[in-house]
């Protein structure tokens, strides 16, 4: 109960940061989706060819995913977490944290926007099974890490440089523990991407190929 109370208090105290980071991410998604319109017809055709080729390969029974995908996916997620964590320690890294959140939104918005815009309902279905599930966890995890990093940076400035009071070590431990918790959560996401996402993609590819034909 005490832990739940502290969590609610933490969320309440940092609600403006959560709102700001979330809005920044949404702006990135919108910007990424709009970027699709900036692609030339040749670029769109080339990307569509790669996607259709991948769908055909999967439909023919080729194996993908597994341990290699697990570690590649987890390594990518871990790099985002570690970079945000380091920027939170640096104090001057706050703008870069916000930039990372915006760029993450751009990447997701562009990917989904391209798939839907170029492949119609096929793209929506493909995005639903290949992009959406893991990002339901990845996005909140990155938002929490970003807010934690911003809060720690603000704490350093306020309590060490301005007021010059307050113990830094307990806050550092909580901040680092939060980052490790999010990393562990994203390892679970990497497991999903490596072993369950390929199954979902294989399940829908016959429908995509049938529509393409």
Residue carrying structure tokens 């939170």: 88
Task: Identify whether the C-beta of residue 127 lies closer than 8 Å to the C-beta of residue 112.
Answer: yes
Compute CA 172 distance to the chain's CA centroid, rounded to the nearest angstrom.
24
> Which residues, 6+ apart, have CB-to-CB distance to 197 below 8 Å?
65, 129, 130, 133, 134
The pLDDT tens digits of the residues spanning 85-132 come to 999 998 888 899 999 999 999 999 999 988 887 777 777 888 888 899
How far apart are the C-alpha atoms of 31 and 25, rounded to whole Å?
Answer: 10
The yes-or-no verdict on residue 182 having pLDDT over 50 is yes
The reported pTM is 0.86
The yes-or-no verdict on residue 193 having pLDDT over 70 is yes
> Which residues, 6+ apart, have CB-to-CB distance to 180 below 8 Å?
none
């Amino acid at each position: 109960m005490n832990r739940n109370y502290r969590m609610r208090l933490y969320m309440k105290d940092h609600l403006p940061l959560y709102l700001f980071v979330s809005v920044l991410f949404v702006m990135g998604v919108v910007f990424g989706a709009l970027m699709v319109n900036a692609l030339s017809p040749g670029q769109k055709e080339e990307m569509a060819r790669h996607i259709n080729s991948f769908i055909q390969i999967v439909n023919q029974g080729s194996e993908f995913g597994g341990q290699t995908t697990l570690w590649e996916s987890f390594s990518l997620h871990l790099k985002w977490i570690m970079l945000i964590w380091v920027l939170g320690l640096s104090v001057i890294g706050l703008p870069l944290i916000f930039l990372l959140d915006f760029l993450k939104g751009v990447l997701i918005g562009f990917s989904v926007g391209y798939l839907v815009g170029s492949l119609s309902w096929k793209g929506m279905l493909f995005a639903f099974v290949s992009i959406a599930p893991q990002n339901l966890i990845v996005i909140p995890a990155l938002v929490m890490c970003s807010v934690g990093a911003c809060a720690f940076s603000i704490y350093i400035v306020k309590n060490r440089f301005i007021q010059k009071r307050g113990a830094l070590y307990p806050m550092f431990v909580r901040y680092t523990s939060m980052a490790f918790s999010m990393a562990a959560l994203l390892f679970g996401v990497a497991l999903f991407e490596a072993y369950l996402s390929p199954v979902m993609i294989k399940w829908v590819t016959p429908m995509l190929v049938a529509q393409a034909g």
